[in-house]
């Protein structure tokens, strides 16, 4: 059973890993793009990630979730990783961070 402090640290480490994964079509990481809807860390060290893609026809629809699972699985104390893809709500450019919009010149 992990302490709350450890679970928070794992969550921060997971976000750091997610921030190292880039969408192949847009030069911004998937976290700043707003593709990650939720990250949950259990007391057992299991991580569940709810994410979306920029579109249902995204060319990396199969490989991106697997990359997320592999990278998050490298975080210390993570036992298991589950990645769930959803299209509710539909991703829009409004979900991007201010930093991502700046980087893409969308202001």
The domain in which residue 85 lies consists of 4-91
The token pair that represents 7 in the structure block:
């679970």
Q: Does 100 map to a domain? A: no
Examine residue 54 and state whether it is found in any structural domain, yes or no.
yes
pLDDT digits (tens, 9 = 90+) for 72-101: 999 999 999 999 999 999 999 999 999 999
Kindly state whether residue 51 falls inside one of the protein's structural domains: yes
Tokens of 6: 């450890």
pLDDT on residue 25 = 80
Total tally of structural domains belonging to the chain:
1
Residue 98 lies in a domain: no
- Specify if 68 maps to a domain: yes
Of the candidates 7, 80, 96, the one whose C-alpha atom is nearest the C-alpha of residue 43 is 7
Q: Give domain status of residue 101, yes or no.
A: no
Distance (Å) of CA 94 to CA 34, 85, 102? 8, 19, 12
Q: What is the pLDDT of residues 26-66, one digit of tens each?
A: 889 999 999 999 999 999 999 999 999 988 888 888 899 99
CATH of the domain at 69: 3.30.300.130
105 within domain boundaries: no
96 within a domain of the structure (yes/no): no
Whole-structure pTM value: 0.92
């Amino acid at each position: 059973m992990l302490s709350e402090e450890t679970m928070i640290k794992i969550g921060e480490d997971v976000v750091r890993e997610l921030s190292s994964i880039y969408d192949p079509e847009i030069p911004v990481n998937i976290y700043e793009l707003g593709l990650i809807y939720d990250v949950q860390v259990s007391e057992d060290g299991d991580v569940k990630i709810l994410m979306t893609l920029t579109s249902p026809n995204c060319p990396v629809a199969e490989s991106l979730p697997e990359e997320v699972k592999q990278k998050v699985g490298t975080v210390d104390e993570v036992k298991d990783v589950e990645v769930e893809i959803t299209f509710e709500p539909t991703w829009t450019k409004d979900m991007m961070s201010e930093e991502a919009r700046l980087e893409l010149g969308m202001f």
